[in-house]
Amino acid sequence: MKNITVYLNNYILSLETERNLSNKTIKAYYYDINSLIAWIDKNGYDNIDNIEINTYIKWLQDVRGLKDSSIKRHYVAIKAFFKYLVFKKIIAHSPIENLNISFKTYRSLPKTLSLLEIEKLLTSTLNDLNSLKSEFRKNICIRNRAIIEMLYCLGLRIGELVNIRLEDIDLKEQTILIHGKGRKERILFISSTEVLNILKEWLDIRYVFNPLNTFVFVNKYGDQLSIFSIEDIFYKYRDLSGIDKRATPHFLRHTFATQLLSNGADLRAVQEILGHSSITTTQIYIEVSTERKKQVLLKFNARNNIKI
């Protein structure tokens, strides 16, 4: 156990160099494994086996009060770490090898906005633009409009939006290269001419902020816009439009996906557009795709034709 921190650092280095994982995922692995190491150190264990692992899992549940989904994430990270130690012949066997732990997985339905709420949100950005007098504020609003429109029109994660660069956009083909989770890339088509024009309007005046890089969306100092800034922009127009106060930028992605499925889009195509690695992640949107269910029930429910 005395060298476990060294082994952890070597493992994290291997994740960075040998596996195609995002920085966010690598940081999560480090945090979860380091949490176990800190617990081991605090309790004075010289060795760790499945009894200690079981005790640690119970500690995460009872003392830290983590949800099953969070505990499962810790478990997966720890299991992968010990597997690495076995592979490197640092330990003979993994203490997590013969554990039989099951996790309950509760999947909450995606939160979405109604079509009326979307219309109110998009309209609020235009109303804001029309109300402004200062050229500087107008330029900021033009940028903000492009941000809201892109999030909804393409169903982007805010992390994906802030990382779009000028070289990722092909205005002639109306396509954008998106750098998704796990460093996976996908090309999306801007299907709305109106959204394309709003984006072009921003690109035409972007230079006035003296950009320091090629990121499409920059702040007033010319640097890359942060995800926190995107959230603040969304919250501003959420409140101006009077839509659901609980809404976050991710509601736009959920709404986008749900509407695609409601309008008859193929599940596999929606998976590719959203950049989901597994189709099971996409399937949850079917649960809130009420329009399709409505049409099926109106057309095929035998009770509709029974007249008493």
Point out the residues that are catalytic: 157, 181, 250, 253, 276, 285
Q: Are 182 and 20 in contact (CB under 8 A)?
A: yes
- 165: nearest Cα among 122, 221, 206, 209: 206
DSSP readout, 3-34?
THHHHHHHHHHHHHHHS---HHHHHHHHHHHH
Query: Tokens standing for 117?
Result: 């709420």
Query: Tokens standing for 257?
Result: 């996906």
CA 263 – CA 255 distance, rounded (Å): 12
CA 46 – CA 203 distance, rounded (Å): 60
CA 102 – CA 107 distance, rounded (Å): 16
- Mention every residue, 6+ apart, whose C-beta is less than 8 A from residue 14: 84
CA 183 – CA 38 distance, rounded (Å): 30
Strand, coil or helix: what is 148?
Answer: helix
**Where does the chain have alpha helices with state H?**
4-18, 23-43, 50-62, 68-87, 115-131, 135-154, 158-162, 193-205, 227-241, 249-262, 267-274, 279-287, 290-300
